[in-house]
A and B are shown apart, each in its own frame.
Chain A
């Protein structure tokens, strides 16, 4: 049966899918042709294969661009007949976030990756020279693998890839549904599902392209290393591979830290790094890549460490594939909050990993004897020796992070092999309950060693360092670093004791090491390189690295939660045994009612909506007063915001707002708000308290003390009459934020028989107090207290101070600049050498 559907735009989809298939086929042709070109002995045959391969690669690149263009076109025009468009965008989505929609899902992000491979490939066509054919074989083959993720064709009953141009009515879950046979079904689908709210952020427009360029570029060092093994030209490849490796490390590092910045600015786990599996999975390849760069340099200048260079550059790309597998196969499920959903491509992803791992490492193992190495041992006083040690330390870091991150994989393996009993396990392995400390306690020691090595290794010379040279040169930086550390230690007041004294000692050692890394490398520019900035890229990158370590250390160890709910501490919580599990970090702010928080008085002053913006903005006013005279020293307003609903469903998706200073950030976000349209029903009951003067009564927002009983009370709601016998309970109310109120509820006996009680209230607290009886025998009075629930305008928020977080951000910039300078320097050096030879 053929239904003629009305209103569908099928052309873009057909074009897009055709392009995707074309890209897949053309990259296969390119792979085979480049392969033949490498394997051919005759020069003429080599060239003609290469020519064919080039054309094939250019066609595949154009096809990838065309796929990208069509998908964007469909998104831009809201063609909801396509599942990808329907699933990831909606009509009200600002155009600037359309790109976020583009890579919100697996297919789009694979496409992004593929685009970067194409761009890098086109550059390699120009600059590859004699390495073009073998390197491009690897790259083209990667394009075959990526292309296969996007074709969505059934081969032998197994669906290969997932087609981003799949029509909504053809999607598996919709097949057979009644609306699918409705010719005018599009009339009913008026809007898309919309983009995940946490992705509606400008960081999500720029972070993925940079990160994926980082991912994509790791294949080039891999391909060069592979080409070196393949063509048995074991040494020559490192020259072009060095600037590419630097480029890759720079971009991947930037991409990772942009993700951290996104997390810091728009997610609410209260920081920039949470050791989440997704973060870890992209950090680990960066660590091995940096290790590879260092062994590569060691080899270049001393001839040592060639095998480890092969190893590190090969493993980096494999780890990128492993991280892709972790985040995209659904295996992380329980342990990560932000992985992709399973598209049923686990098998394909594993295959992708295998087809690169096996040939790469098989060749490295088989040809290990052919790889040239220096017989003579390196001297302990040589730079290459310590570069090698540093790389091994980076690898230990990588191993530890991978080991813990892979827990879900261990579970799969254990269950798959059926060896649970053997390991004496009843249940699945769970990640450490204190995840952050689990990583920190190991990684802090690694950071210490790395900081130390970063500081001193540049002062060693390759091959051998003359005695006295090293100690003479490093003396000044060491003293300076010690002095600075001492000053920070004395004035910085670092007393992070949540994990005991041992960890605090480690913090101080790391403080010294990171300062040492900064000072040592900054000084090296003058001591070692005589101020020649052109060659100082490495030193500058190392200064940046030191600053990153320092920034992480200070902002993490001195992070302070200021939104502590101090009131509940009074009834036993704070000093009791529960204090550790209940840190009381959420603070409730009633509207227009200042609450003390750290040095600040904070007032929630209402919410507001902006036209064309789905978010609600909350005005939170901060005020800092001079404790001596009460003058306002500082005043500012933060606007933490939140999406209150998602497609008509109640849901709070908050975004933080921060006040930035040079020395700290005040970071604020909403954790709960009342449901606005809830009918206000006052269900609160009066609670009774029998008290004598001097006794106190606690309530949610503070406590009150009965100061005394006052005859002839003066309460505006009470009008004295002649036969009254009236007394007032003179109460002093102390609130959370040290504000005081006086209350005077009145008890009156009128005409010796009629009891009248006149309640008194503290309006901002919705506090009602009644003086309802005198108990003469006990010399006490009966006081009734009620806190009303009707008061419904409030927010619950958290606030942190991140001190010196700018050191971290500046450190990243400095490191990127250092990398860029090194790349320029190395590329120039390579060119000069070519002209000379």
Chain B
């Protein structure tokens, strides 16, 4: 067997190995219901901020605690605890992706990704008299 063929085989094997390992890290976007079934396991949940409920962030009490409510895709509302500061413009987020786990009916998350309405989508021209 030629050396280059051997190298090629090794390369393919390594690449497949890496991709399989890497794909093992992939997850899917889930709902609160699935997260509740497997409490303690980390999930990514897409949802919308429930604006009818209060958000709570008081840095003087705890700068690393932010509580709010999220409605997931199935319409289920859950309290969410985020260990960090309240992200800028959180109220305006169109949707949020929460990374965390369910525990005692609360979704405890360590990462929030916000999808903000594009700056340009609502290119409403503000009209005002100078």
Contact = CB atoms under 8 A, between A and B. Distances in A.
14 contacts: A179-B125, A187-B130, A189-B127, A190-B128, A337-B113, A404-B22, A429-B26, A429-B28, A430-B97, A433-B44, A581-B110, A586-B84, A652-B88, A674-B59
A129 to B, nearest CB: 34
A565 B63 contact: yes
A506 to B, nearest CB: 14
Q: 9 closest Cβ contacts across the A-B interface? A: A582-B83, A432-B25, A427-B28, A588-B63, A671-B85, A586-B63, A672-B85, A190-B130, A430-B44
Nearest to A642: B88
Given A174-B123, A400-B19, A651-B89, A427 B64 contact: no
A176 to B, nearest CB: 13
A700 interface: yes
A249 interface: no
B28 A700 contact: no
A173 B58 CA distance: 40
Contacts of A168: 125
A794 B84 contact: no
A535 to B, nearest CB: 30
Contacts of A653: 88
Interface of A: 83, 86-87, 168, 171, 173-174, 177, 179, 187-190, 193, 196, 333-334, 337, 341, 377-378, 380, 388-389, 392, 396, 399-400, 403-404, 407, 425-434, 438, 442, 565, 568, 578, 581-588, 590, 651-653, 671-672, 674, 700, 787, 789, 791, 794, 796
A426 B84 contact: no
B61 to A, nearest CB: 5
Nearest to B113: A334
Contacts, number: 150
A812 B125 CA distance: 44
A407 B27 CA distance: 11
B127 A179 contact: yes
B64 A787 contact: no
Given A430-B26, A565-B63, A392 B11 contact: yes
A584 B85 CA distance: 10
Contacts of B25: 404, 432, 434, 438
A586 B97 CA distance: 21
B85 A426 contact: no
B22 A400 contact: yes
A187 B130 CA distance: 8
A672 B63 contact: yes
Contacts of A190: 128, 130
Contacts of A337: 113
A588 B84 CA distance: 11
A428 B119 contact: no
B50 interface: no
Nearest to B26: A429
Contacts of B111: 433
Contact of B26 (A83, A396, A431): A431
B28 A171 contact: no
Interface in B55-71: 57-64
